């Protein structure tokens, strides 16, 4: 049996009275959240100090974005000099924190020296956000950098020996040693240019390569030679290699992780020329 028209009307009015306040509350809550979400919040540093030594030290800058925004992050020293780390980059609103890692260096415009170390001192880490409606927010914290070495990692005394190699595994000039010196700790990349590596250079040592420990080899050679009257010459010799029995692994060797150079060895012999 169908309810009468008057009963249906009363039922609809009751539903409207019940549902409209609920819908209105949800709408107000939604609009309130959209209108008052903080543009920039929860800006923190993981540490107020940074002492870079070249071993991967860093400080994290954490921040949260509540509305669509463009973000700029820079360090400013006591003289007002700015070191820009992020420049007007778009950011989506998120409940998760954004994170920027500061390692004590800043980008440069030099195509060779891509980054440079910041001098020791006190800096303001400034995070600025600009919303789509033109609203702005800015938060800053103090970061102190200790013991930074501002001397650039210039490469000195670069040598390659021998200049010509024959990598045919005969034990003679199979490898070339590249030596150089640096005034500071640095990450080094070496590339080879030439046949097969032009125009794109071939990576030789990359920044991700593990360093090899240094070593010093001590060799000795003693010989006595005398010439006979018949045109023949005799020589008695005593050779010693790696007398300190050092574990030596050339960084450029493909077998460095598997087989070191030979240990201590002594050889005695006689040579005759005729």
Give 192-227 pLDDT, tens digit per residue. Answer: 777 777 777 776 655 555 667 778 889 999 999 888
Q: Say which residue, 208 or 254, is predicted with more confidence.
A: 254
Q: Compute the distance between CA of residue 82 and CA of residue 80 in angstroms, rounded to an integer.
A: 6
Q: Say which residue, 85 or 156, is predicted with more confidence.
A: 85
Q: Say which residue, 233 or 63, is predicted with more confidence.
A: 63
Q: Are 251 and 264 in contact (CB under 8 A)?
A: no
CATH number corresponding to 40-145:
2.60.40.2550
Q: Say which residue, 17 or 243, is predicted with more confidence.
A: 243
Q: Compute the distance between CA of residue 47 and CA of residue 26 in angstroms, rounded to an integer.
A: 41
Instruction: Report percent pLDDT > 90 for the chain.
Output: 38
Q: What is the pLDDT, as a whole number, of residue 70? A: 96
Q: Compute the distance between CA of residue 121 and CA of residue 78 in angstroms, rounded to an integer.
A: 8
Q: What is the pLDDT, as a whole number, of residue 202? A: 73
Q: What is the mean pLDDT of the chain?
A: 81
Per-residue HEC secondary structure of 220-261 comes to: EEEEEEEECCCCCEEEEEEEEECCCCCCCCCCCCCCCCCCCC
Query: Minimal CA–CA distance to 190: which of 171, 216, 208, 168?
Result: 208
Q: What is the pLDDT, as a whole number, of residue 33? A: 46
What letter would DSSP give residue 208? T
Confidence class of residue 35 from pLDDT cuts 50, 70 and 90?
very low
Residue tagged 């992050």 (tokens): 73
Query: Minimal CA–CA distance to 189: which of 113, 125, 248, 247?
Result: 113
Write out the H or E segment, with its range, that includes residue 274.
none
Instruction: Report percent pLDDT > 70 for the chain.
Output: 78
Q: What is the pLDDT, as a whole number, of residue 254? A: 65
Per-residue HEC secondary structure of 121-181 comes to: EEEEEEEEEEECCCCEEEEEEEEEECCCCCCCCCCEEEEEECCCCCCCCCCCCCCCEEEEE
Segments making up each domain of the chain, as ranges: 40-145, 153-209, 213-274
Q: What is the pLDDT, as a whole number, of residue 1? A: 47
Report the DSSP beta bridge partners of residue 126. 74, 140
Q: What is the pLDDT, as a whole number, of residue 34? A: 47
Q: What is the pLDDT, as a whole number, of residue 178? A: 82
């Amino acid at each position: 049996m169908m309810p009468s028209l008057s009963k249906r009307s009363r039922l609809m009015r009751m539903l409207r009275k019940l549902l409209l306040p609920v819908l209105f509350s949800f709408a107000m809550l939604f609009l309130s959240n959209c209108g008052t979400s903080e543009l920039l919040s929860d800006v923190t540093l993981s540490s107020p100090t940074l002492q870079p030594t070249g071993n991967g030290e860093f400080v994290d800058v954490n921040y949260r974005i509540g509305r669509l925004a463009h973000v700029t992050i820079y360090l400013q020293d006591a003289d007002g000099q700015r070191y820009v780390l992020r420049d007007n980059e778009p950011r989506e609103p998120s409940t998760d924190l954004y994170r920027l890692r500061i390692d004590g260096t800043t980008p440069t415009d030099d195509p060779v020296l891509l980054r440079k170390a910041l001098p020791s001192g006190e800096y303001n880490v400034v995070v600025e956000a600009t919303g789509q409606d033109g609203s702005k927010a800015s938060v800053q914290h103090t970061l102190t950098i200790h013991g930074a070495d501002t001397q650039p990692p210039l490469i000195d005394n670069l040598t390659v020996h021998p200049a010509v190699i024959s990598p045919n595994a005969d034990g003679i000039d199979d490898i070339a040693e590249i030596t150089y010196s640096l005034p500071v700790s640095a990450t080094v990349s070496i590339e080879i240019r030439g046949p097969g590596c032009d125009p794109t250079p071939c990576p030789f040592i990359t920044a991700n390569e593990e360093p090899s420990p240094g070593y010093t080899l001590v060799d000795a050679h003693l010989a006595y030679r005398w010439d006979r009257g018949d045109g023949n010459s005799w020589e008695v010799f005593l050779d010693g290699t790696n007398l300190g029995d050092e574990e030596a692994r050339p960084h450029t060797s493909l077998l460095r992780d598997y087989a070191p150079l030979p240990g201590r060895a002594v050889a005695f012999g006689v040579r005759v020329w005729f």
